[in-house]
Amino acid sequence: MMDRYSPRARSFGTDRLIVGSWQLPSSQLPTANFQLLWILLPIVLFLPLVAKAQDPQLSQFYAAPLYLNPALTGNTYQDRLIANYRKQWLGIAPGFETYCVSYDHNLSKAHSGIGGIVMRDKAGTNGLAFTHAALCYSFEARLDRKRAVRFGTRLGYTLRDFDRSGYVFADQVIREGASTTVENRLIDNVSYFDASGGALYFSEAFWFGVSMNHLNRPQGSLFDGGDARLPVRTSFHTGFRFATDGLKLARSKTHMTLAAHFKTQGEWDQLDIGAYLDHKDITAGLWYRGLPGLKAYKPGYPNDDAIIAMVGFQTSNQFRIVYSYDITISWLTMRSGGAHELSLIYEWPRRTKNRKWKAVPCPKF
User: What is the DSSP code string of 49-110?
Assistant: GG-S------SSGGGSHHHH-GGGTT-SSSEEEEEEEEEE-TTSTT-EEEEEEEEEEEEGGG
CA 361, 139, 346, 61 torsion: positive or negative?
positive
Q: How confident is the model at residue 69 (pLDDT cuts 50, 70, 90)?
A: very high
Q: Is residue 13 part of a domain?
A: no
Q: How many CB atoms lie within 10 A of CB 266?
A: 14
d(CA 265, CA 53) in angstroms, rounded, equals 9
Asked if residues 93 and 358 have their Cβ atoms less than 8 Å apart, the reply is no
Higher pLDDT, 171 or 32: 171
pLDDT of residue 249: 84
* 295 pLDDT above the threshold of 50: yes
CATH number at residue 137: 2.40.160.40
* 33 pLDDT above the threshold of 80: no
Domain that holds residue 298: 58-169+188-347
Phi then psi for 20, rounded to 5 degrees? -100, 20
The stretch 171-175 carries a mean pLDDT of 80
d(CA 184, CA 225) in angstroms, rounded, equals 11
Report how many domains make up the chain.
Answer: 1
d(CA 171, CA 280) in angstroms, rounded, equals 62
Q: Is residue 36 part of a domain?
A: no
Find the range with the poorest average confidence among 17-21, 68-72, 197-201, 255-259: 17-21
Q: Is residue 83 part of a domain?
A: yes
What are 144-168's pLDDT values in tens digits?
888 999 999 999 999 998 877 667 7
pLDDT averaged over the chain?
80
Q: Is residue 108 part of a domain?
A: yes
